[in-house]
Structures are given as C-alpha cells and as structure tokens.
Structure 1
Amino acid sequence: MTGNQQNNGPKHKRDLTRRKVVVAGAGAAVAVGAGAALASGAFADETTDSASASASSTSSSAETCYKLTSETTEGPYYIDADKIRRDITEDKEGIPLVLNLKVIDAETCKPIANAAVDIWHCDALGVYSGYESLSTGGGGTAPTDAPSGTPSGTPTGEPPSGAPSGGTGGGGHEEPTDDERYLRGTWKTDKQGRVAFKTIFPGWYRGRTVHIHTKVHVDGKWTDTGYEGGHTCHTGQFFFSEEAVLASAEVEPYSTSTTERTTLTEDTIYDQSGTTGGLLKLKYDKKNIAKGVVGSITMGVEPDSTNDGTSL
C-alpha cells in the first residue's frame, strides 16, 4: 500500500511490499452540527444502508457488474494509511456524510472480503490534512451566490492532472508538511465486500470538482497492528452531483468560501461515465442538506491487477 508501487498491468501480481500501520485509538469525534443525527444513524446501520443502496440499483447491476470502475490519478496528497478507523471526521466542521462502499471482482461479480479501503479528502474549505501549508483554503467573505462557472487564474491546491484514462502525469507525490491526519482513514471490507466511513461532505478548491480519493488494497494480512503487505488493485475518486454541491454551498462553513469552483462537467479527472466513473448515489433531504448525506457506490475492481494511480 505504498505510493511508489509500479503498475505491472492487468492480471499480473507484483512482489508484496510490506507495510505496517498503527491502529487509531478509540474516541474519534463524531461529526458535529445539527445534521449529525441523520448520518450517525445511517452509519450505525451501515449494512442496511448498503443493502438498500445495492437493492435500489438491482435493475442496472447486471450491466454494471462487469464494468471496471475507472482508475484515476493518486494525486499529490496521498499518505500511506496510518489511521485504521471508520470515523475520519475528527473535529472538522461540515455536513455529515456517511459513505457506504462495496467492493466486487469486476469479472466474477463476487464481493471481495477483507480488502483494505483507504479514503481521503479535503475539508469544507479545500484544505488537506498533512498538507495544510500546500493547500489553499477558501475561507473568507461569503460569496453573493453559489460558486459556479469556469475557474480562472493559476490553479492551487491539488492540481488537475489529466483525464482518468490516457491522461498524463499525476501531479507528483508531495511529502507531508504536518502531522494532521483528519479526513483520512482505512477500514476493511466485510464478507459482503462492504465498508462504511463517517466523514463530512468535502469542499472544493480551484482546479478540481468536489471529490473523495480512494484506494483498494488486497492480498495483505490484517494483524493486531493494522494491515501488512498486499498490493493496490484500484485507485479512484468519488464524485458528487452538481445539485448536491450547490445545496452544500448554502451551508456554513462552505458558504464562506470565496474560491471559484470547477463543475462536474469541467473536471479533468471525472470521465463523465456516471457510476463507473465514481459518481455517488446520494440520499439527503432536498430541503435541508445540512441534516446529512448518505453516499453509496459499488466498485468493480480487478484484484489481480496493480493500479496505484501513479502512472496515469
């Protein structure tokens, strides 16, 4: 699960790189705000939520089961997971988000159990933990209307780095500049290939649409100290509908951002392919998104391939 893995192509296992992570202590803070109850309840009943999301997409499962989920760039702000936890919120403010994920073998459609799934994303104002001095937050005077339109000026924060397939570059990995690790975490999939995380709805920064990064690691071993060995079979990103992002922009602290936003259709990473490209299925109160959001998606991966996102 290290960022310097080389892509050896489909159906080719690389030599295992040993890695160890420290299990995070108990007591991670729950998402704060008036809407925490909705997301908290969904997280507590994660199996039901995941099953419900899966059932709701049954009509399309036959045709999507055999589609590989799009591989994307790792980006410059990946940190080999050192927090084994499902609640990654810490003390960050924002709209509560429960992320229900399912990992399946894209060829056999069978769930992949005991995989290590990483997620990481910026906070409500576009700042990444571990890279606060490199990230450019968007705090300031609230804009007169919801952020939209074409970004201008030199992109800051995590730079765009080409299309998800056939693109060039990856932004280059940056070494962490601080010890913060909020909005980052790793957890294992259950027997049904499911895993759920509690976090907050991400914000945005110039040059990228709202997104969450993910990696799926397989063939490793879970120990008392964390996860060891294995290889990265999938590196991707999750995306949010424009409707949900515009609704979030009306809620503090998102509403205080002065940063221009790249829309979903303008993004250089999202391939416009819907679920296959990482577009989340979202559930929330359309009249009050601040209550919380539940996002769900099934990832079809090739467990025998190595896709670490550094060579796209």
Structure 2
Amino acid sequence: MTDSQAPTDAQVPEDRGRLARRTVLVAGGAAVTAVGVGGTLAANASATQQHETQDACYTLTSELVEGPYYIDADKIRRDVTEDQPGIPLLLDLKVIDADTCKPLRNAAVDIWHCNATGVYSGYESGGNGGGGPAPTGAPPSGTPTGAPPSGGPGGGGGGHQEPTDDDRFLRGTWHTDRHGEVTFRTVFPGWYQGRCVHIHVKVHVDGAWTDAGYEGGHTCHTGQLFFDEKAVLASAALEPYASNTTTRTTLTEDGIYPQNGHEGGLLYLAYDRRRIGRGVRARLTLAVAPDETNDGTGGGGPAPSASASPSATTG
C-alpha cells in the first residue's frame, strides 16, 4: 500500500492497529440513513430535518477542548457500537479545506463519546461524570497504568485521565473518501454531570495509511459535535436514557459549546419525531485549516458563563 492510499474494508480489519497521529477534523454535509431497531429509518416528509443552505466554502469550524477521555488510535473501524444499547445513530461527516473548499481525502477522523447512561469506555470505574483539561503525553498501550480518575463521578479531574479498563466501545477511527466524507455507525449519546449531549471529534492529515493504521501527520482540528434540545428530550423518554438520573445540562447551559450553531459543531439531524427509537441521521461539514495544528490541548470554546451549570466540565 502506498502512502497516498487509504485502507479498504478488506485491508483494514475493524479492530486492527494503533495509530501514531496528530490530525484535524472537518465535519461534512452528506446525509446518512440510520438503521433502527425495527428497520431502516424512513427519510420522508414526517421526519424532522434541518438542511444546510449550501455545501460550499465555510467559516472555520470551532476548535474546542479535547477533554480527559481521549485514547489515541485504538480502533480502526467505522462501526463503533459494539454491544452498547441505545438509539441507532449514523454520523456522516465531511471534511473540507476552509480556504479552498476542496475535500480532504484520506484524512483520519476520530470520534469518541459516552454511552446512553453517560459512561466512557476505558473509564467505567469513574461512572457517570468527570472532566478535566485535555490529555497530554503518549497514548496508552497495553495494561492501563497510573492512578484512576481522581475526580470521581462529576469531578473536574486534573488533566488527562489514564484509562482504568480495556473496553473501547463508542470509539473509532476511519479515513475520508475522495469526497472528504466518512460515516460512522454508533448510538445516540447520553449525558453526564456538567455537560450537554455531545460527541468528540479529531481530524488528522499529512500522515500515511499503512498496514499498522495511520502513521505520522498532525491534528488540524479538535472539536465536539452537539445535538439540539428537541432530539435530546425525545431520546430521554426512552430506555436506557430514561434510567440516567444525572441532572442534564442543556445546550444553552453548556460551558464548552460556543453557542454559534453549526459553525460550533451543532449537527443537522433527521428522525421521525414519533419514533426516534428507530434511528437518527446526523451530518455536518467541518471546515478546517489543514496546515495548522489544533490538537485540543490549548483549550477552545467559551469559558463557562453565568448561565452555565456550575459543575460544567471539559469532558
């Protein structure tokens, strides 16, 4: 495989390899269809849909904090669901160069998020909650080392928290195609103390896909993807979301969301308002600066405002 080639499904097993990478993410504007518990989500007039007015040049997508729960390049795969229950979610992202509006081909895109009850894989002993500044240092490998999360459920933490277990559900990395697009299959996230419902994302460029995964390059974008309140309220009526008793922070209360709409990571969603359990479609175009490095360690996003939850974290 040459450096310019991206892996195909046959060439890269879902569970293969660890990436050495530093990259950036641009969210794209292609639609996706979610497969629900009972079948395929119908994209019809009854679905709640929001549309981008044009798929052209974009303002740079907001750079946000990485959070304490990033685990670098652990799973090379598009389906990150594993055995996690929840509303099926197809997440379709498109990454473009904000200056040229051209798609970024063969970029490595990471996503990671909590499950329906607010727990991150790799940090299950911390329960529902947590937070802290962005991770630093080399990615973990082998048996987790270091102290468990110090903040406990809802705690602020004190920097990157080392994993406390080997689970890696709802985490994955895949390449963009020649249109700059990539689709992940996952579940609608839940919430935990101090944060609204969100998905973390990174985009890596200038590296090379090899038999071991994606090597080298740099991270040009670190962001978070957000869900509107109507969709979150609809999900909260269903199990297992309904079993989450943690007080939920709304989108407008969140101290990380920049409150600037799709530029800040607010997803376009489509779902049947009466049957959200069948699945949700989510899409966004992420406009990035591929020559820059934005790894999330320098912060990003607004400081918590007076209206934000006092327990807001950077998870």
TM-score by length of 2: 0.73
Give the distance between the partners of 2:36 and 2:219, measured in 1 at CA.
37
Deviation for aligned residue 1:206? 1.0
Partner of 1:134: 126
How far the C-alpha of 1:278 sits from its partner, in A, is 0.2
The match for 1:174 among 136, 153, 161 is: 161
- Residue type of the alignment partner of 2:279: G
Structure 2 partner of 1:121: 113
Change (3 A) 1:260 1:86: same
User: Retained in 1: the 8 A contact 2:14–2:78?
Assistant: no
Question: What SS does the aligned partner of 1:248 have?
Answer: helix
Alpha-carbon shift at residue 132 of structure 1 (Å): 0.6
SS at match of 1:179: coil
Larger helix share, 1 or 2: 1
Deviations 1:147-191, CA, capped at 9 Å, x for gaps: xxxxxxx994474xxxxxxxxxx9621111110000000000000
CA shift digits 1:89-113 (9 cap, x unpaired)? 0000000000000000011100000
Aligned mate of 1:92, from 81, 84, 93:
84
How many residues end up aligned between the 2 structures?
Answer: 245
Distance, in Å, in 1 between the alignment partners of 2:71 and 2:58 is 30
Instruction: Assess, with a 3 A threshold, how the Cα gap between structure 1 residues 294 and 33 changes in structure 2: closer, same or farther.
Output: closer
| 2:247 paired residue number | 260
SS of residue matched to 2:252: coil
3-state SS of 1:202 partner: coil
Deviation at residue 61 of structure 1 after TM alignment: 4.0
Q: 1:75 to 1:136 in 2, by over 3 A?
A: same
- The correspondence for 2:257, drawn from 238, 248, 270, is 270
Native 8 Å contact 2:36 2:88 kept in 1: no
Q: Does 1:285 find its partner at 2:277?
A: no
1:198 aligns with 2:185: yes
Distance of 1:219 and 1:209 partners within structure 2? 32
Cα distance in 2, alignment partners of residues 245 and 304 from structure 1: 35
CA distance in 2, matches of 1:199, 1:121: 10
- The equivalent residue for 1:112 is 104
Alignment match, 1:67: 59
Question: Which secondary structure does the structure 2 equivalent of 1:276 belong to?
Answer: helix
CA distance in 1, matches of 2:194, 2:124: 17
Residue 307 of structure 1: how far off its partner (Å): 0.3
Deviations, residues 50-74 of structure 1 (Å, cap 9, x unaligned): xxx99x42x3445xx2300000000
Q: Residues 301 and 129 from structure 1, CA distance in 2 versus in 1: closer, same or farther, beyond 3 angstroms? A: same
1:35 and 2:37 equivalent? yes
Q: For structure 1, list consecutive stretches of 5 or more residues without a partner in the other structure.
A: 1-21, 27-31, 43-52, 138-153, 160-169
SS of aligned partner of 1:300: strand
Q: TM-score scaled by structure 1?
A: 0.73
User: Is contact 1:86-1:187 (8 Å) kept?
Assistant: yes
Amino acid at match of 2:212: T
- How much is the aligned-residue C-alpha RMSD, in angstroms? 2.5
Does the 8 A contact of 1:233 with 1:308 survive in 2?
A: yes
Uncovered stretches (5+) of structure 2, i.e. residues with no partner: 1-11, 17-33, 44-48, 130-150, 300-315
**Which residue pairs with 1:225 in the alignment?**
212
Q: Tell me which residue corresponds to 2:173.
A: 186
Mapped to 2, the partners of 1:60 and 1:25 lie a distance apart of 36
Q: Secondary structure at the match of 2:122?
A: coil
| Aligned twin of 2:307 | none
Relative distance call for 1:187 and 1:92 in structure 2 (3 A) is: same
Alpha-carbon contact 1:156-1:207 (below 8 Å) kept: no
- Relative to 1, partners in 2 of residues 1:202 and 1:36: Cα closer, same or farther, differing over 3 Å? farther
Shift of 1:135: 3.2
Give 3-state SS (helix, strand or coil) of 1:82's partner. Answer: coil
Helix, strand or coil at the partner of 1:38: coil
Residue aligned with 1:133, SS? helix
Deviation at 1:24, TM superposition (A): 3.2
The Cα shift of 1:305 comes to 0.4
